[in-house]
Amino acid sequence: MITVNEALDAIFDLVTPCGTEEVPLAEAAGRALAVPVTATRLQPPFAASAMDGYALNGVEADPEAMFRVIGESAAGHGFDGRVGPGECVRIFTGAPLPEGTNRVIIQEDVTRKGNLITLARKLDKGPHVRPAGADFKPGDTIPAPRVLTPADLALAAAMNVPTLTVARRPVVALLATGDELVMPGETPGPDQIIASNSFGLKALIEANGGHARMLPIARDNADSLRAALDLAADADLIVTIGGASVGDHDIVGDVAADMGMDQSFYKVLMRPGKPLMAGRMGDAVMIGLPGNPVSSMVCGHVFLVPALRAMLGLGEAAAPRRSAMLTADVASNGPREHYMRARVENGELTVFDSQDSALLSVLAQANALLVRPVTAPALAAGVQVEYLPI
């Protein structure tokens, strides 16, 4: 059996970036930017007022000084002319500063009578002017690769870049297997349960930049599995769920091999998630997840999310970890890296008592997986530990 790190490296060896596409800004949220965005203009394109008030020459801004208002500069309609000594221009936020001015006196500090203003006795420092290019200049960039945030999109828009080159979303075919499974909303027979794993995995995949396609549930026979796998031929990544262990009905590995899957590894020193497999099938990468609901989701966080990021051109790295303080003692660990369901609150991590890999109710309460390395000794409450946020 290989380690979690070895398995992840083997998966990185299998995946390749999916290529790029152009998308309009309005559809680019959360996408992986593939090519840096470069500004071709200044922002602001002119020295602009940061306040509503009066623009004048700052050297004349003495307390109680008087000025004659000779015009107006509003956003979108600047003042066309020069401001001389003893003169000022009514100005609004975002408007260009007229020639001859370099300071804005906020209107709260001004008394106006007709076309004459008098400054207050006490003036703030100002100058309430945003210099041209203060935000960005031609040649400034939004670097790539990166996952586009709402702020990035606002910045790209301000740069007047209407479309972005982003990584194509990897298409992930999700294939649940098992005679016992029916879809949510159907009426299960007495020996059946509801297929749940695909729904958690679909959400995880789509939150991490993939496009998940649920295939019809495959039954525990070769014909049904073949028919379902045939439907996945155009996917970038085929993810099977269940049928991965050693039981008589666990046929995913054999059927995939018959269909040409070139297996990279089978079984990983981790808990839950031991019967994980991966390989290449035609143009697609195939990852076979264990069926136990928590196992499949843990493998999703540990392997699928980093694989998707690599396919999106975001680099090859394990899921980032954080640290927190243990609230109670934890026993020593065995030969498999253990991802224990836990809850982190205010920097303190509490491990759930029940770690059975069938318990979705526990997983749903968890927001962390405490990572217990292979054969790690027992830990006492109060120590700092590493966890994977989920």
Ligand X SMILES: Nc1nc2c(c(=O)[nH]1)N[C@H]1C(S)=C(S)[C@@H](COP(=O)(O)OP(=O)(O)OC[C@H]3O[C@@H](n4cnc5c(N)ncnc54)[C@H](O)[C@@H]3O)O[C@H]1N2
Residues near ligand X, by CB under 6 A: 176, 178, 180-181, 193, 195-198, 241-247, 250, 272, 274-275, 290-293, 295, 357
Contact present, 363 and 341 (Cβ < 8 Å): yes
Shortest distance in whole angstroms from residue 144 CB to ligand X? 36
Nearest to 91 by CA among 142, 47, 140: 47
Binding mask 274-303 for ligand MOO (x = CB under 6 A): x---------------x-x--x--------
240 scored as a contact of ligand MOO (CB under 6 A): no
Q: Please give the structure tokens belonging to residue 324.
A: 């927190």
Which residue is closest to ligand X by CB?
291
Shortest distance in whole angstroms from residue 192 CB to ligand X? 9
197 scored as a contact of ligand MOO (CB under 6 A): no
Determine the size of the site formed for ligand MOO (CB under 6 A). Answer: 8
Burial code of 157-176, b = ≥16 C-beta within 10 A, e = fewer? eebebeebbbbbbbbbbbbb
78 scored as a contact of ligand MOO (CB under 6 A): no
Shortest distance in whole angstroms from residue 178 CB to ligand X? 5
197 interacts with, out of ligand X, ligand MOO, none, CB within 5 to 8 A per kind:
ligand X
Shortest distance in whole angstroms from residue 250 CB to ligand X? 4
127 scored as a contact of ligand MOO (CB under 6 A): no
Contact present, 233 and 282 (Cβ < 8 Å): yes
Contact present, 78 and 72 (Cβ < 8 Å): no
Which H or E run contains 296? helix 293-299
Which H or E run contains 310? helix 305-311
Contacts of 360 (CB under 8 A, 6+ apart): 196, 200, 293, 294
Phi and psi, residue 344, nearest 5°: -110, 125
First to last CA, the chain: 26
250 interacts with, out of ligand MOO, ligand X, none, CB within 5 to 8 A per kind:
ligand X
Shortest distance in whole angstroms from residue 271 CB to ligand X? 7
Which H or E run contains 156? helix 150-158
Task: Name which of 217 and 368 has its Cβ closer to ligand X.
Answer: 217
Task: Name which of 274 and 309 has its Cβ closer to ligand MOO.
Answer: 274
Near ligand MOO by CB under 6 A: residue from 97, 357, 363, 390:
357
Nearest to 254 by CA among 177, 346, 190, 158: 177
96 scored as a contact of ligand MOO (CB under 6 A): no
243 scored as a contact of ligand MOO (CB under 6 A): no
Task: Name which of 273 and 306 has its Cβ closer to ligand MOO.
Answer: 273
For binding to ligand MOO (CB under 6 A), which residues are involved?
271-274, 290, 292, 295, 357
